[in-house]
């Protein structure tokens, strides 16, 4: 073989991308990690020209930046955000989504001095009560999932809830779309001529599951009010008000207790 001819096996092939240096990450990811937006929102911020890095407008949300570089969003320098966690008592006429058509948006009630605060999950227009909020996306995901803890509701229905209906719900009900629901608590709180209120707790419960259960039991819902998520209780928090969570409550959600 001629010495001028190279064995193709000896030719250098394409190399993998070099790993990012310690202390670096993509621009949009850094914005999201700092708590200013979700990853998708951060990418849109960059693409729309709202972000400058070291004084220059950057449009690539995936460009690598170091912790030492200055990032400015809408003319304000970005800083690492201190994590904040709140319990909020959602009134009926509040939307958790900017496209909602209710009287007020959730953001109208929240502290303006803490950027990046978002709800952990959502409650629909007809549901009131406990909603958890933070600027920690991983914590919000854990709180919304409900894995490892119960969510508790007070449900007001038209007419009388019989002891037999309560016993059937407590024993567990197989529903066509919601699956098998086995409450950890079912207790009738009050009965009146026109309606009844019962308390129910379900592991990781979603409001739609409560609605499906009541439909299966032929109970017409008037109101659903969430009063507990895991170790966090609504208690005497007034509608439209929020309070900071204790470290015990924060860790309780994180650990799924």
Which are the contacts of 220, defined by CB distance < 8 A and separation ≥ 6? 157, 158, 159, 214
The DSSP 8-state label assigned to residue 197 in this structure reads E
CA separation for the pair 5, 185 (Å, rounded): 79
Q: Please give the helix or strand (H or E) that residue 145 lies within, else none.
A: helix 137-145
Backbone angles phi, psi at 216, to 5 degrees: -65, -30
Q: Distance (Å, rounded) from C-alpha 115 to C-alpha 36?
A: 6
Cα separation values, 68 from 36, 71, 79, 141, 173, Å: 18, 9, 11, 29, 56
Of 203, 204, 221, the residue nearest 212 (C-alpha): 221
CA separation for the pair 73, 36 (Å, rounded): 9
Q: What residues act catalytically?
A: 124
* Contact partners, residue 99, CB within 8 Å, separation at least 6: none
Secondary-structure percent of the chain, ordered helix, strand, coil, rounded to 5: 25, 30, 45
CB count within 10 Å of CB 245 equals 21
For the chain, what's the residue count?
257
């Amino acid at each position: 073989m001629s010495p001028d001819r190279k064995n193709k096996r000896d030719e250098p092939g394409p190399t993998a991308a070099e790993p990012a240096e310690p202390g670096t990450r993509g621009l949009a990811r850094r914005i999201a990690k700092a708590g200013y937006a979700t990853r998708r929102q951060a990418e849109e911020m960059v693409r729309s020209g709202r972000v400058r890095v070291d004084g220059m407008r950057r449009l690539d949300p995936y460009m690598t930046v170091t912790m030492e570089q200055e990032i400015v969003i809408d003319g304000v320098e970005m800083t690492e955000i201190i994590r904040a966690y709140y319990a909020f008592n959602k009134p009926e006429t509040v939307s958790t989504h900017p496209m909602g058509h209710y009287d007020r948006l959730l953001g109208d009630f929240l502290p303006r001095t803490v950027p990046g605060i978002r709800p952990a999950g959502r409650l629909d227009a007809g549901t009131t009560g406990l909603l958890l909020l933070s600027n920690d996306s991983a914590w919000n995901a854990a709180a919304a999932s409900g894995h490892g803890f119960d969510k508790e509701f007070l449900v007001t229905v038209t007419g009388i809830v019989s002891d037999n209906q309560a016993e059937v719900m407590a024993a567990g009900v197989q529903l066509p779309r919601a699956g098998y629901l086995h409450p950890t608590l079912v207790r009738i709180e009050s009965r009146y001529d026109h309606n009844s209120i019962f308390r129910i707790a379900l592991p990781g419960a979603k409001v739609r599951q409560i609605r499906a259960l009541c439909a299966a039991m032929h109970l017409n819902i008037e109101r659903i009010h969430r009063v507990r998520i895991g170790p966090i209780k609504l208690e005497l928090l007034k509608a439209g008000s929020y309070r900071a969570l204790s470290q015990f409550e924060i860790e309780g959600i994180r650990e799924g207790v």
